[in-house]
Amino acid sequence: MPVTTEIVVSEGSWDILESTLKELPFLMPKVLRRAINRTVRHINSQMVKTGAKALGIKQKIIRQRVWKSTARRSLRGRVRAGAVGWPVSLLAPKHRKAGVSVRLGGRRQVLEGTFLARMKSGHDDVYRRKGRARLPIAIVRTRSLTLALESAGLTDELVRDGQAFLGGQLEDAADYYVMSFWRRKARKGDSLAARRLTSLGYDLDELGIT
């Protein structure tokens, strides 16, 4: 079963955000969208790395079952891990007497009672019989990424990391958009905007303002 967790803006981060944007509250949606999207990409990357380590599978394979959607109109992003495992046919399978060996966890492991077969569709896969009879058979899969993360106790760790990352991104995004707003005005000759940038600690020469 898929596990759903949420990362929300903490009260502390929200207070800092409101203080930074006190003069320019209309920038809030832009700030939130930028911070959320960067956090989504970060969590996606961390989930792939963590999942690869937990399952002993290459990251390029893990990426096939991790999907992300960024914030656009709604201020909500999403990262989703697959609830179904990967066919072990992706793990360099080879015939052995006892079964099929696959590369898992950095070494070759033999999956007893399994066999490689080509279906009428031309598709090769690793199978295991469900009983003693020739049929039915089932595709052999790894554990799902969701299950691997949960069983290793890594889901909470990913959430904590995402929460901290989001807080930092909110501050960075707020500073960036506030600076950009005043810089545009200052470059057009607005002396008040130039003074505002100076009061915020920016060097006008470094910003290209004369």
pLDDT value for 181: 96
Confidence band for 44, pLDDT divided at 50, 70 and 90: very high
* Mean pLDDT of the chain, nearest integer: 89
Tokens 């909470």 belong to residue = 156
Average pLDDT over residues 8-25: 90
Q: Where are the domains of the chain?
A: 11-83+147-199, 88-141
Average pLDDT over residues 28-37: 95
pLDDT value for 45: 95
Structure confidence by residue, pLDDT tens digits, 51-78: 898 888 899 999 988 999 998 888 899 9
Residue 1 pLDDT greater than 60, yes or no: no
pLDDT value for 20: 93
Predicted TM-score (pTM) of this structure: 0.83
Residue 202 pLDDT greater than 90, yes or no: yes
pLDDT value for 129: 86
pLDDT value for 13: 87
pLDDT value for 82: 82
